[in-house]
């Protein structure tokens, strides 16, 4: 029974594997955890085309033709009270250029370190403090390539007393009270690698799409497409999967990484994820799409059947044609679905029939072997038994003709007659009795 059942389950598993197209290219678990930006539920009809939108202007790759003039820092000064502020640009500096001081009065009096974009120290040094230097200073860091903007504000107050010099935090910004005529340094430090280092940006940008079938966790998702800013493109899975899923070739120039799926099938449902990784800019985003595929509604065709040879009608009635509307549903897919169910049921019935035949034959074979063993045990050699035949002596019968006077003498004479010994085969008789 056990070999037959194993054979049956092996056939069932083999049938399941042939009906499913297995492809499993696991997602890269080494990537940093992405921030989920959006989760959308998308429903489409089978056989249609669907586009999963995934756009980000921060992923647009543009070659640095300006000799790394994409990073800049500038200091601004805001003067005034009660919301009436006037702003003044004090100085700025590009990552590949020299710093500029806008006012002739401030040249040589205010400056930033020359190695600011190397060590991340963008602090502003002001010499010979005067009352006019009092106000709110703003340190602005701009990374035009990564679309990053950071601002640090510091309030500077001027005092004429040494005891009044102090630094504190007012809850929104740092406040520095400096002595008039002295030198002060307004701190602005940011040592993030995007402000201090230069990488090959095209090797730091990657976009990939993953798919999770229903019931599969995120770390076991199947990788669909990898796309790099350098132009490299990788597709995974069977050929028919790679042909039906596509991303635009100008994705990195437009920032549009939407996935187009053509010829939707019920097997395409699941969770799709668009991962955007810009390692240079520190961007790690994920957009999730819950895709459901429904069967399209059967289209109906209206056929007008017109009878031109209508029977004669009442001459007083108006002339017209008899129109019959016939609705013919398109059910070809339904027919194939029912046919599949019938074939699957027939195959299962055949497998069960084979299993019953194998079990029956095995039981018959076991019963036949058992009967043979029983007969072998009961087969005895009866020739070993000895029979006492001493009283059986060879005797030659003679016909004695006597005249008896009465029946008593005749009966005594018959008892005195000895018959010859009979040859009896005991072995044959005992076999018949024991083998019944």
**pLDDT band at 21; cut points 50, 70, 90:** very low
Residue 181 has pLDDT above 50, yes or no: yes
Query: pLDDT higher for 27 or 299?
Result: 299
Q: Pairing between strand 233-235 and 166-169?
A: unpaired
179 close to 162: Cβ distance less than 8 angstroms: yes
H-helix or E-strand containing 90? Answer: strand 84-94
pLDDT in tens, 303-362: 554 544 545 555 554 444 555 655 555 556 667 778 888 999 999 999 999 999 999 988
Instruction: Specify the pLDDT at position 139.
Output: 96
Tell me: pLDDT of 30 over 50: no
Per the CB < 8 A criterion, the answer to whether 290 and 266 are in contact is no
User: Please, are residues 178 and 159 in contact by the beta-carbon 8 Å criterion?
Assistant: yes
pLDDT at 155: 94
The alpha carbon torsion through 263, 264, 268, 270 (nearest 10 deg) reads 140
What are the residues facing 207 on neighbouring strands? Answer: 227, 276
Nearest to 118 by CA among 190, 70, 65: 190
pTM: 0.50
Confidence of residue 77 (pLDDT cuts 50, 70, 90): very high
Residue 118, pLDDT > 90, answer no
Q: Residue 300: its pLDDT value, please? A: 64
Mean pLDDT of 76-86: 79
Instruction: Dump pLDDT digits (tens) for 128-141.
Output: 999 999 999 999 99
What confidence tens digit (pLDDT) does each residue in 266-317 have? 889 999 999 998 887 788 899 999 999 998 877 665 555 454 454 555 555 4
CA distance 286 to 221: 14
- Residue 174, pLDDT score: 93
Which tokens hold the place of 414?
Answer: 């018959």
């Amino acid at each position: 029974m056990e070999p037959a059942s194993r054979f049956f389950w092996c056939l069932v598993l083999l049938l399941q594997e042939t009906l499913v197209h297995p492809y499993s290219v696991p997602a890269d678990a080494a990537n940093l955890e992405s921030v989920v930006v959006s989760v959308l539920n998308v429903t489409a009809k089978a056989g249609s085309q669907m586009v999963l939108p995934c756009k980000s202007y921060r992923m647009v790759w543009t070659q640095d033709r300006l000799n790394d003039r994409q990073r800049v820092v500038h200091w601004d000064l805001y003067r005034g009270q009660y919301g009436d502020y006037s702003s003044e640009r004090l100085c700025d500096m590009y990552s590949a250029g020299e710093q500029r001081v806008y006012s002739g009065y401030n040249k040589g009096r205010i400056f930033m370190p020359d190695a600011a974009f190397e060590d991340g120290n963008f602090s502003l040094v002001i010499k010979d403090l005067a009352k006019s230097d009092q106000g709110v200073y703003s340190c602005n860091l701009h990374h035009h390539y990564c679309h990053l903007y950071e601002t640090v504000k510091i309030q500077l107050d001027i005092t004429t007393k040494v005891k009044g010099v102090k630094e504190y935090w007012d809850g929104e910004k740092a406040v520095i009270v400096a002595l008039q005529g002295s030198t002060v340094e307004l701190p602005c430090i940011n040592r993030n690698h995007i402000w201090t280092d230069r990488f090959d940006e095209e090797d730091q940008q990657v976009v990939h799409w993953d798919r999770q079938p229903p019931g599969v966790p995120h770390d076991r998702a199947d990788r669909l497409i990898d796309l790099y800013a350098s132009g490299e493109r990788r597709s995974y899975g069977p050929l028919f999967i790679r042909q039906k899923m596509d991303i635009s070739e100008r994705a990195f120039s437009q920032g549009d990484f939407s996935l187009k799926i053509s010829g939707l099938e019920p097997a395409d449902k699941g969770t799709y994820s668009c991962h955007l990784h810009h390692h240079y800019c520190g961007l790690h985003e994920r957009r999730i799409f819950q895709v459901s595929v429904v069967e399209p509604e059967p289209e109906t065709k209206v056929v007008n059947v017109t009878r031109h040879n209508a029977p004669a009608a009442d001459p007083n009635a108006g002339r017209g044609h008899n129109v019959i509307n016939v609705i013919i549903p398109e059910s070809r897919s339904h027919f194939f679905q029912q046919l599949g169910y019938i074939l699957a049921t027939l195959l299962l019935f055949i497998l069960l029939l084979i299993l019953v035949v194998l079990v029956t034959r095995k039981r018959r074979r076991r019963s036949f072997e058992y009967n043979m063993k029983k007969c072998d045990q009961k087969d005895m050699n009866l020739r070993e038994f000895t029979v006492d035949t001493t009283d059986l002596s060879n005797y030659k019968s003679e016909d004695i003709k006597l005249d008896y006077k009465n029946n008593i003498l005749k009966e005594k004479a018959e008892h005195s007659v000895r018959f010859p010994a009979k040859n009896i085969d005991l072995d044959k008789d005992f076999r018949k009795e024991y083998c019944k």
